[in-house]
Copies of this chain bind each other. A is one copy, B any other.
Amino acid sequence: MITPPVSRYPVPPLEGLPDDLRARILEVQEKSGFVPNVFLAFSHRPDEFRAFFAYHDALMLREESNLTKGDREMIVTTTSAANNCLYCVVAHGALLRIYEKKPLVADQVAVNYRKADITPRQMAMLDFAMRVCLESDDIDEDDFAELAGHGFTDEDVWDIAAITAFFGLSNRMASFAGMMPNPEFYLMGRVPKAK
């Protein structure tokens, strides 16, 4: 099941993992057809694995959010590109293409989101995400007002900021540990009915 390399850290055998980790990994394998390497790369640290994916789910699966799943993956892809994180750009770019049903959008936001074929609301969302990513210390009420002008509530702003902040963590972990994206991600969502 494991195609090397996952990262520069060793990956424990699946059977040796705590039950909840193994269950989560098998679940994602069944759903996706493969195990995204981030699950394997974190599995040698069960407590961090649990916290990482709990945080991920709290943000990316949050049901009461006004951000669509496409919006959220767009934030991830754009800010991960700003951090030059190979794993996250490739893996979340795939999800972005699928959720937005736009095969070109992930490459566009990864290279230069200002040139991407997205809505003005999404552009404002990404402008703010980049502020959180690169200069969070300079954010003030003007940022909130700008976003309010595009219909974003304070809770929406929290969502944008929290997703950006969480993937800033993820980007740093993936880059330092050399996590490599699974080959499957690169083509997902690029062709109609892929696979």
Contacts and interface: CB of A to CB of B under 8 A. Distances in A.
A57 B157 CA distance: 26
B89 A114 contact: no
A52 to B, nearest CB: 7
Indicate the size class of the contact surface on chain A: 35 or more
Contacts of A137: 83-85, 112, 114-115, 175
Contacts of A108: 86
A185 B187 CA distance: 14
A127 B5 CA distance: 23
A136 B175 contact: yes
Given A55-B48, A111-B85, A169 B169 contact: yes
Interface stretch (A13-21, A28-36, A176-184): A176-184
A26 interface: no
Interface string A116-146: 1000000000000000110011111000100
Contacts of A177: 158, 161
A21 B173 CA distance: 28
B51 A58 contact: yes
A175 B59 CA distance: 19
Interface of A: 8-9, 45, 47-48, 50-52, 54-55, 57-59, 62, 81, 83-86, 89-90, 103-104, 107-108, 110-112, 114-116, 132-133, 136-140, 144, 154, 157-158, 161-162, 164-166, 168-173, 175-178, 180, 183, 186-187, 190-191
Q: Which 4 A-B pairs have the closest CB atoms?
A: A84-B137, A51-B55, A47-B58, A165-B172
